[in-house]
Amino acid sequence: MITKDIEPAVQVLNKNDLVAIPTETVYGLAGNALSEIAVSKIFELKKRPLYNPLIVHIKSLEYLPQITRNIPSKAYKLAEDFWPGPLTLVLEKSPEISDLVTSGKSTLAVRVPNHPLSLALLKQLDYPLAAPSANPFGSISPTSAAHVDHYFHDNLQIILDGGDCQRGIESTIIGFKQDTPVVYRLGSLPLDDIQKSVGEVISLDTNAIINPQAPGMLSRHYAPKTDTFLTEDVRELASSFPGEKIGVLLFQHKITDFPVYSQEILSPSGDLNEAAKNLYAAMHRLDQLNLDRIIAEKLPEFGLGLTLNDKLTRATKKV
């Protein structure tokens, strides 16, 4: 059932079953984070490998000390500046949190989502919600209730419909090395904003790519089923596949002098926030056209453009 009513969602969650919830980033597949039964169902339904830990959603910063400990002062500063919002903090976990949630790690990923329906839902519950993105492992994240329904239809009793996600890209994940923030995953909160709040942040070392601390950093992730390529010159690459059914994903401007089967424009005005909001929905649409190939245009390399290019690189094949 797709609904805007939180009451049935509360009942389903209290029975250790799952509901899909809207957030400002992407839709989440949510269950009681303190119940191993509910958490196991999340891994099962998503076909998510058990080594890939979940993000836990809480109703407010006040709840943080109940599930984490030894919180660095910069974590508090970031939480005060950006919660509710698209920032996930990786902190030392308390014993109440099962190893299943954290995939055996001593740290827990946690955030306060910025969506009125999910905040209202969290306030009705006396436990936090574990909620990774509501898509099968490895596929494109959902940014509407219809996307979630497409993935899980009969296998999910309730999808809470909060409209299209306002950010449209996953949260930025920040961990800590002593008191220094470390970027675990690029996301919809730009690093510039984080640096303005707490100063220098460090990037994950290259080892992380082989043995990822955040599987959002896995080299292939968020991928369409159709072969997808990323390039600076879409027209040139498209013209090297004559006769193919090609879909293109462009930042600002349509291609007018070369025939392609379908074109998606992320932001006619060249606004990276708008492009982020539209990216996954455009990928979903193209992926449903039975194309031979999707060709995506590289976005400007600053601000959110860095995040979007990171997501596109993980979704695409090298040319």
Complex with Mg ion: residue 114 or 133, whichever CB lies closer: 133
Two tokens, residue 51: 């080594």
User: CA-based diameter of the chain, in Å?
Assistant: 61
Residue closest to Mg ion when measured from CB atoms: 133
Shortest distance, position 82 Cβ to ligand AMP, whole Å? 16
Complex with Mg ion: residue 84 or 216, whichever CB lies closer: 216
* 3-state class percentages of the chain: helix first, strand second, coil last, to nearest 5: 35, 20, 45
Angle, helix 145-152 to helix 272-287, in steps of 10 degrees: 30
DSSP state string for 89-111: EEEEEPTTS-HHHHTT-SEEEEE
Q: Which does 184 bind (CB under 5 to 8 A by kind): ligand AMP, Mg ion, none?
A: ligand AMP
Q: Which does 190 bind (CB under 5 to 8 A by kind): Mg ion, ligand AMP, none?
A: none
Q: Which does 85 bind (CB under 5 to 8 A by kind): Mg ion, ligand AMP, none?
A: none
Interface residue with Mg ion, options 133, 213, 226, 267 (CB under 5 A): 133
Complex with ligand AMP: residue 214 or 279, whichever CB lies closer: 214
Within 13 Å of residue 201, how many CA atoms lie on the same side as its CB? 25
Complex with Mg ion: residue 72 or 224, whichever CB lies closer: 224
Complex with Mg ion: residue 217 or 234, whichever CB lies closer: 217
Complex with Mg ion: residue 47 or 196, whichever CB lies closer: 47
Q: Which does 149 bind (CB under 5 to 8 A by kind): Mg ion, ligand AMP, none?
A: none
Shortest distance, position 28 Cβ to ligand AMP, whole Å? 7
Shortest distance, position 145 Cβ to Mg ion, whole Å? 17
Spatial contact of 132 and 54, defined as CB atoms under 8 Å apart: yes
Shortest distance, position 109 Cβ to ligand AMP, whole Å? 3
Q: Which does 296 bind (CB under 5 to 8 A by kind): Mg ion, ligand AMP, none?
A: none
Complex with ligand AMP: residue 108 or 246, whichever CB lies closer: 108
Question: How big is the CA angle at 307 (ends 306 and 310), to the nearest 5 degrees?
Answer: 85
3-state DSSP assignment of residue 214: coil
Give the C-alpha separation, 277 to 266, whole Å.
Answer: 8
Q: Which does 293 bind (CB under 5 to 8 A by kind): Mg ion, ligand AMP, none?
A: none
Give the C-alpha separation, 70 to 77, whole Å.
Answer: 14
- Amino acid identity at 306: L
Closest to 115 in 3D by CA, of 62, 166, 54: 166
Candidate ranges 13-21, 43-51, 132-140, 187-195; the one touching Mg ion (CB under 5 A): 132-140
Give the C-alpha separation, 110 to 47, whole Å.
Answer: 21
Site for ligand AMP, rule CB under 6 A: 52-53, 55, 90, 102, 105, 107-109, 132-133, 170, 173, 184-185, 213-216
Interface with Mg ion by CB under 5 A: which residues?
133
